[in-house]
Amino acid sequence: MFTGIVTDLGEVRKVVGGAGRDTRFEIASHYDCATIAIGASIAHNGVCLTVVETGEGWHAIEASAETLSKTTLGGWAVGSRINLERALKVGDELGGHIVSGHVDGVARVVSIRPENESLRFTFEAPESLARFVAPKGSVALDGVSLTVNEVDGRLFGINVIHHTQAVTTFGTYREGDLVNMEIDMLARYVARLLQKD
């Protein structure tokens, strides 16, 4: 489990595989890799992945062909910047919201415009996920816990403050970019309970 509070901005340093196959990524980070156990879970742009090897200043993860096809990981290349969050420990501060690291789909950046000291992003959710997005509700985009400002059909808006732009990949996004989207866990279960059999 995670909280959507990014703790490091990593960078892809090596890619092995791809083209419809499972792929191994080596990720450079500022984490003390001596404290990362093999088998540990780390969220990479919101996707919970298992650490399979560590080295000085880097760790390796593997993504299945299924994960590559359902997330933005298939577009990663050497030099891609990655939002990282280590798994939540009992007693850690819950600064964002509960995030599982199981991405539900991919959203698209529709527009970005300045609004006071922040940036106002408009995203388009996949049709199957739009009903789970609510004003003032939570959503995780590329692993970042964010509050939804407004919803208009499949479109929803969020504000990203300067700090978040600086310490996550949000400072690099352009219109048309794709991001991993995880809906709020509470919204998922409420919708299931209200579903008619």
Q: What is the pLDDT of residues 71-85, one digit of tens each?
A: 999 999 999 999 999
- Split at pLDDT 50, 70, 90, the class of 24 is very high
Report whether 9 contacts 81 (CB < 8 A): yes
Q: How far apart are CA 153 and CA 133, in angstroms?
A: 9
Residue range 9-27: average pLDDT? 90
Count: domains in the chain: 2
Q: Are residues 76 and 113 in the same domain?
A: no
Answer yes or no: do 110 and 189 share one domain.
yes
> In this structure, are residues 181 and 139 in contact, taking their beta carbons and an 8 Å threshold?
yes
82 and 114 both lie in a single domain: no
- Does residue 1 form part of some domain? no
47's enclosing H/E stretch is strand 47-55
Residues 69 and 121 grouped into a single domain: no
Residue 20, domain member (yes or no): yes
**Does 188 lie in the same domain as 121?**
yes
Q: State whether 136 and 178 are in the same domain.
A: yes
Tell me if 93 sits within 8 A of 16, measured CB to CB. no
Q: Is 27 exposed, middle or buried (0-12, 13-18, 19+ CB in 10 A)?
A: buried
Residue 5: predicted pLDDT: 93
Domain containing 40 equals 8-86
- Residues 12, 56 within the same domain: yes
Q: What pLDDT is attached to residue 150?
A: 96
Which pLDDT band, with edges at 50, 70 and 90, does 19 fall under? low
| pLDDT, tens only, 29-49 | 999 999 999 999 999 999 999
* Block residue for tokens 């030099």: 79
Q: Which pLDDT tens digit goes with each residue over 92-112?
A: 777 778 888 999 999 999 999
Q: What is the pLDDT of residue 98?
A: 83
